[in-house]
Amino acid sequence: MADPAVINAEANDRLITRTWRAWKTVHEMVSDRGYELAENEIHISLDDFKNSYTNVDGSVTREKLKFSARPSQEMLKKYTPPATAANPEPQPDVGTIWVEFFCEDSLGAEQMRKFAKFCSHEHYRNGLLVSNAAVSSGAKKEMAKFAQWTTIECFLEEDLLINITHHELVPKHVILSRDEKTALLKRYRLKETQLPRILQRDPIAKYYGMRRGAVVKIIRNSETAGRYASYRLCV
């Protein structure tokens, strides 16, 4: 008969590895969006993760997994609207992001309200919650209530075990700045509604935190043309 202690240890090891993989993907995602993170945060080894984020019994201390990141200068520049006579010194439409790994078994309105209140009170422009539990309809309504102060995003941990942008069939995606978008539409004499579309709920759009109205440049490799770009409007 199998030793219960061995079974428990094996289960903990699987959970640690699973959480570590999601942790890595989240850090890669935050970095790919343009936030500042140290290399050792993004590329932490499994052993270092175990040493830093597990209890004596081998379980993961999810409370310790929370972190924040500031936007880089490049990101601030990309999300700053052009100056106008009415607004000669525009402020960037982006700020610090707060990331948290949800600890409870269900994610309802009360839990979401608590998370959103914390993010808005602490002036985080984005709050990203990683959960093992599906988001209830009540929780989604709470997310919308706080939209004017903070943008709340939720990801299931199981969807972050693999970084989808690392797949060989996924081309490179680059979100255009407002100026780049304007220049693109002017160059091709297009209205933005004439561009092909990408849904905001698309996994790639969610990964990069695309906003409605944003245009993304998709760079593909071609055996005949080398590299070529196409563009899509996020809706």
Boundaries of domain holding 73: 4-162
Residue at which a domain ends, from 137, 162, 187: 162
Domains: count for the chain: 2
Where residue 77 sits, what CATH number does that domain have? Answer: 3.40.1340.10
- Indicate if 120 and 47 belong to the same structural domain: yes
> Would you call 180 exposed, middle or buried from its count of C-beta atoms within 10 A (0-12, 13-18, 19+)?
middle
pLDDT of residue 226: 79
Higher pLDDT, 224 or 159: 159
Higher pLDDT, 103 or 232: 232
Residue at which a domain ends, from 147, 162, 177: 162
- Indicate if 25 and 77 belong to the same structural domain: yes
DSSP for 86-141, please give it. S-SSPPPS---EEEEE--SS-B-HHHHHHHHHHHHHTT-SEEEEEESSPBPHHHHH
- Indicate if 141 and 193 belong to the same structural domain: no
Q: What contacts 134, CB < 8 A, 6 or more positions away?
A: 107, 156
pLDDT digits (tens, 9 = 90+) for 164-208: 999 988 999 999 998 999 999 999 999 999 999 999 999 999 999
Residue at which a domain ends, from 112, 140, 162: 162
Q: Give the pair of three-digit tokens for residue 148.
A: 């004017």
Which phi and psi angles does 195 have, rounded to 5°?
A: -80, 150
pLDDT confidence tier of residue 83, bands split at 50, 70 and 90: confident
How far is it, in rounded angstroms, from Cα 229 to Cα 207? 20
pLDDT confidence tier of residue 5, bands split at 50, 70 and 90: low
Q: Crossing angle for the helix pair 46-53 and 4-33, nearest 10 degrees? A: 110
**Mean predicted confidence (pLDDT) in 119-146:** 95
Predicted structure pTM score: 0.91
**Mean predicted confidence (pLDDT) in 35-64:** 91
pLDDT confidence tier of residue 224, bands split at 50, 70 and 90: confident
- Indicate if 153 and 191 belong to the same structural domain: no
What average pLDDT does the structure give for the chain? 92
**Mean predicted confidence (pLDDT) in 111-115:** 96
pLDDT of residue 36: 97
Other Cβ atoms within 10 Å of 153 Cβ, number: 14
Residue 1 has pLDDT above 60, yes or no: no
Residue 20 has pLDDT above 60, yes or no: yes
Where residue 187 sits, what CATH number does that domain have? Answer: 3.90.940.20
